[in-house]
Structure 1
Amino acid sequence: MTAVDLPTTPRILIAEADPWVRDMLTELILDVRCDVDLKVCADGQQAWEWLTHHQPDLVIADWELPGTDGLSLLRGVRQQRRQPAVAFILMSSRNDTASVREAVPLMPTAYLTKPLDMEGLRQRLMGLLVKGNAVTCEVPGLAPGMSPSHFLENRREIAEGAPLSMDVKLAVKISQGKAGLDMAMLEQSLRFDPHVTSVLIAAANSAAQHRGKASQTLAQALQVLGSVQSVNLLLSLAMKRSATLTDEVLIAKAQQYWELSRRTAEYARSLARLLDLDAERCFCAGLLCSLGDLTVLRCLQDWLLAGGELDDDEINTQLKANAATFGSALRTRWRMPLELRELIASVYQFTGGVYSREALVMNVAAQMAAIGPEDGLDALANSKPARLLKIGTSELSRLRRP
């Protein structure tokens, strides 16, 4: 494979159909070199049209692109006979000798098989992109007159989800054994993090991964993705800006929502088991019930990093105004399974009509999670969802015991 030196500020093209792989590659590149001029394409035709009008310094393309495939992109770039030669990393799920032999005459800088070895790719990118001292990039400042409301309005459709509640790198490390990654241990380590759960479920249900029945729990998502892809996604989450909150006030707010999510999830699982329903799906829906609130908090962290100011009243105002719409937008954009979205929605409202027993369970679990440990349960037992489930005060009291 060829070795190529890149200029001071490289122009890079990523051509990859899977949105989650695109995101991983983007985060990895920006983590290695934050000042690159980056273009991202979802299909080969779009990538080729861009290549005919721009001079890239590095192309990272998947062979199995829709439209014009990655090998054709590589062939087209080589036929342009640019000097110096364009660095081109070709990715593929094909690991057979015939495919490698087909690619080698076109002189790719590297031929990488999927699922990707992200650490190996990082080392290659370091060699290509980092020359001399490390590059530092400042966080862009706020536009004049920007308010928190306008800032959040602009972020709603591009928000990257909730902050991480745990150290995912550590979770991966402790799940590694002599026989490889222990997926059951990894699932147990991560099961209380709403962001990890939502991202892995969304990735498992993407067009590139989805096979048959949709994944609706973390365990199902991990099984679909496999160990390598799961670890790649987890490590890319940790690279993102504001992945971990740093402001003490925002951390305290997030702790409240993480705890509320955990209690809702555990009550939902216990109720579902009692009624012989899908306990793990109910657990997952309960865990994701505060995804919108947590996403708003992560965006407010970006507001602070950009130079904005916040006080407790402003944080509460923005949470009240934006949490529901942020959560809905995120679940829709990530194409979360409809059944799971319906269970999450039932946490917040129950106005009558025909509801599944699992939806009733979610509503009761959310009410239980919201009341104090010393509060009585008679009112909850007399609520319509509890009566429809035939759950009384005695059953609710047993569920609330430590």
Structure 2
Amino acid sequence: MSAADPIPPCVLIAEGDPWVRDMLSEMLLSVRCDARLQVCADGPQALAALASQPDLIIAARELPGIDGLDLLRNVRAKGRKPVIPFILMSNRSDTASVREAIPLAPTAYLSKPLNMDSLRHRLEALLVHVGEQIACPVQALLPGLTLPRFLEQKRATADGGPLFADVQAALKRALHPHGLDLKVLEADVRNDPQITAVLIAAANSAALHREGSVTGLLQALNKLGSIQSMNLILGLTLKRSARVRDPELARHAEHYWNLSLRTAEFASGLARQLGLDHERCYCAGLLHCLGDLAVLRCLQEWQLAGGALEARDINKSLEDFGAAFGSALRTRWRLPLTLRELIAAIYQLGGGVYSREILAMNLAGQMARLPEGQGVERLAEGKTARLLKVEAGDLARLVKITL
């Protein structure tokens, strides 16, 4: 990696946790946007990837198959000159573990959860030379690629919806001398569907999945801890199109965000009234439009890549792909089945016996979509309200409190 070398650096990332892998990739690309990444989920994959002669390796010590220390040992045994920079990350920061790695000369031994500021400084020192100019133009669309085909390709890999919370302000308010006040942070970001979904998904990942599923934001924050939560949230801000900038797309995003908030508030209010889990119901309501928001974010990427976009294209794309994007995200992120069932209930009731939570979510969805100025009497006469034994007066009071 010399300043005169025009070839972008090749970086190997080896990490078992998918959320940490993604966070590391975004961090690295934010430092060196032209880097060629090889991302591996286990030791054998990483060992095979050494054949590509990476310029930098970032690996977890606790890799499945072959651990990161053995990977480092293999790299050093090859005796390559100059020495390949190797950043070793580990959950183990005790003296014995660090001493075991020192003879293999890792460039850095970083304890998890990672200090992202420290990691950024190390990456900048390793990957960016003084005075170096790095150009990263937006990749152009392939000739003949249509918008529907573009969205179909994006469905399985979409990053989710845009951010709405002021992340920097939220973290600043929550930060105190002893770390993050997670309750303060939760209060500031609980209305953001993307942050909520990612933190719940990360808390339910294989690395942390124990003692039951996590279905609420504060529960996720407590399971992840201050540093990991902060890293994941900051990682979301690094992603391309993290915020929707186009005015027309932003208008649609605002509509779906407001619909999500209304549904969440009605769901939480009904749950409290009925003695149900109001935090879980709130999260289900908040996340139910994530597919539509993800489509809007992908439409911005299409536009940034040079694709034409008219108002009718936006409406058609939302109609055709909103539900599919939402289903794909919830499945890929492995959101708990309980949450997925509650989200599905917002749209319609399936067959069989309904739980009270399912009914509450369905009624909350009806209330959120009630035309402005229309009373709740017809809702109270409907099947869902009658099964819940919720009367028009109860619904009217809830509407008044929420709106």
Match runs of 1:90-169 below 5 Å: 90-131=88-129, 132-169=131-168
Q: What CA distance in whole angstroms lies between the structure 1 residues aligned with 2:68 and 2:53?
A: 17
Q: Do the aligned partners of 1:169 and 1:234 also contact (CA within 8 Å) in 2?
A: no
Q: Do the aligned partners of 1:204 and 1:210 also contact (CA within 8 Å) in 2?
A: yes
Secondary structure in 2 matching 1:401: helix
Q: Do the aligned partners of 2:216 and 2:280 also contact (CA within 8 Å) in 1?
A: yes
Shift in Å at residue 351 of structure 1? Answer: 4.3
Q: What CA distance in whole angstroms lies between the structure 2 residues aligned with 1:354 and 1:170?
A: 45
Q: What CA distance in whole angstroms lies between the structure 1 residues aligned with 2:257 and 2:318?
A: 15
- The residue aligned with 2:274 is 275
Task: Give the TM-score, by structure 2 length.
Answer: 0.97
Q: What CA distance in whole angstroms lies between the structure 1 residues aligned with 2:385 and 2:144?
A: 49
- The residue aligned with 1:79 is 77
Q: What CA distance in whole angstroms lies between the structure 2 residues aligned with 1:167 and 1:304?
A: 24
- The residue aligned with 1:56 is 54
Shift in Å at residue 373 of structure 1? Answer: 4.0
Q: Do the aligned partners of 2:165 and 2:188 also contact (CA within 8 Å) in 1?
A: no
Unpaired stretches in structure 1, ≥5 consecutive residues: none
Q: Do the aligned partners of 1:5 and 1:128 also contact (CA within 8 Å) in 2?
A: no
Shift in Å at residue 136 of structure 1? Answer: 2.5
1:243-289 CA distance string (max 9 Å, x none): 01110000000000000000000000000000001111000000001
Q: Do the aligned partners of 1:62 and 1:92 also contact (CA within 8 Å) in 2?
A: yes
Q: How many residues are treated as equivalent by the alignment?
A: 398
Q: Do the aligned partners of 2:363 and 2:384 also contact (CA within 8 Å) in 1?
A: yes
- 1:294 aligns to 2:293 (yes or no): yes
Secondary structure in 2 matching 1:300: helix
- The residue aligned with 1:219 is 218
Letter in 2 for 1:89: I
Q: What CA distance in whole angstroms lies between the structure 2 residues aligned with 1:169 and 1:160?
A: 20
Q: What CA distance in whole angstroms lies between the structure 2 residues aligned with 1:355 and 1:13?
A: 49
Q: Do the aligned partners of 2:116 and 2:231 also contact (CA within 8 Å) in 1?
A: yes
Unpaired stretches in structure 2, ≥5 consecutive residues: none
Shift in Å at residue 322 of structure 1? Answer: 0.5
- The residue aligned with 1:370 is 369
Secondary structure in 1 matching 2:87: strand
Q: Do the aligned partners of 1:90 and 1:110 also contact (CA within 8 Å) in 2?
A: yes
Task: Give the TM-score, by structure 1 length.
Answer: 0.97
1:6-57 CA distance string (max 9 Å, x none): 8552111000000000001000000000111110000001110121x22111
- Percent identity reads 57
Q: Do the aligned partners of 2:11 and 2:56 also contact (CA within 8 Å) in 1?
A: yes
Q: Do the aligned partners of 1:169 and 1:238 also contact (CA within 8 Å) in 2?
A: no
Match runs of 1:3-402 below 5 Å: 8=6, 9-51=8-50, 53-131=51-129, 132-402=131-401
Letter in 1 for 2:100: E
Shift in Å at residue 180 of structure 1? Answer: 2.5
Q: What CA distance in whole angstroms lies between the structure 2 residues aligned with 1:19 and 1:180?
A: 25
Letter in 2 for 1:79: A
1:171-207 CA distance string (max 9 Å, x none): 1112112343111010000000000000000000001
Q: What CA distance in whole angstroms lies between the structure 1 residues aligned with 2:264 and 2:229?
A: 23
Q: What CA distance in whole angstroms lies between the structure 2 residues aligned with 1:50 and 1:284?
A: 40
Aligned-residue CA RMSD (Å): 1.2
Shift in Å at residue 67 of structure 1? Answer: 0.5
1:140-181 CA distance string (max 9 Å, x none): 111111111010000000001000012212211121123431
